[in-house]
């Protein structure tokens, strides 16, 4: 059985059909994963604030680079978003569709991210992850990330993101 191909398709701020598809895809994954972790009220607030079409469009216009991971048929496998910050690459979004998990997609996405980081001449990738998201923390640690600090960020509406900051140093 041959390994399926994954291509990384950049998402443009002016491509409304792709933004709408990405927002729906992202919202489904985030609802499925985070409702049990943080509750639907906070999760719905965060989806509206960070994964709506207007939010994604604004993020892209401010420098985020969104990419859809697609198979050869154009089906979404996952997506990621990142941008240079503080001399490193900040990984803002990194999600794999449930049906594609355990098939090496996350590793392909991570390889793509580190290649983009190297092209920028940056030495590390860092991210925030919910401190209670133990399964995902283990995945990041398996990829080579290490905890560098803890943060609690007020995101408005009485909600906080209570996170670990993890960092991966490029070899």
Whether residue 81 is contained in a domain is answered as yes
* Best CA proximity match to 129, nearest among 29, 37, 8: 37
Question: Helix or strand or coil: residue 69?
Answer: strand
| % pLDDT > 70, the chain | 98
The string of pLDDT tens digits covering residues 28-68 is 999 998 999 899 999 899 999 999 999 999 999 999 999 99
pLDDT, averaged across the chain: 94
Buried b (16+ CB within 10 A) or exposed e, 42-53: bbebbbeebbee
Interval 123-139 mean pLDDT: 95
- Residues 140 and 129 sit within 8 Å (Cβ to Cβ): yes
- In this predicted structure, what is the pLDDT of residue 111? 96
Q: Is residue 160 part of a domain?
A: yes
User: What CATH number does the domain containing 19 carry?
Assistant: 3.40.630.30
Tens-digit pLDDT profile for residues 79-117: 999 999 999 999 999 999 999 998 999 999 999 999 999
pLDDT at 2: 45
Provide the token pair at 95: 């999600």
pLDDT for 1: 40
State the pLDDT at residue 3: 57
Considering its fold, how many domains does the chain have in total? 1
pTM reported for the whole predicted model: 0.93
The answer to whether residue 1 is domain-embedded is no
Percentage of the residues of the chain whose pLDDT score is greater than 90: 89
- 2 inside domain: no
Nearest to 105 by CA among 68, 57, 138: 68
> In terms of residue numbers, what domain contains 109?
7-169
């Amino acid at each position: 059985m041959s390994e399926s191909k994954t291509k990384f398709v950049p998402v443009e701020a002016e491509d409304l059909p792709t933004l709408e598809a990405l927002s729906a895809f992202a919202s489904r994954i985030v609802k499925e994963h985070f409702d049990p972790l943080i509750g639907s009220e906070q999760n719905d607030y965060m989806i509206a604030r960070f994964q709506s079409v207007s939010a994604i469009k604004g993020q892209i216009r401010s420098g985020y680079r969104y990419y859809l991971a697609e198979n050869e048929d154009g089906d979404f496998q996952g997506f990621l978003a990142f941008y240079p910050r503080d001399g490193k690459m900040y990984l803002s979004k990194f999600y794999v569709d449930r049906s594609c998990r355990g098939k090496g997609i996350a590793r392909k996405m991570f390889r793509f991210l580190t290649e983009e980081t190297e092209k920028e001449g940056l030495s590390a990738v860092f991210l925030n992850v919910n401190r209670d998201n133990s399964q995902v923390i283990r995945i990041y640690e398996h990829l080579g990330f290490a905890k560098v600090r803890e943060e609690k960020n007020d995101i408005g509406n009485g909600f906080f993101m209570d996170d670990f900051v993890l960092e991966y140093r490029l070899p």
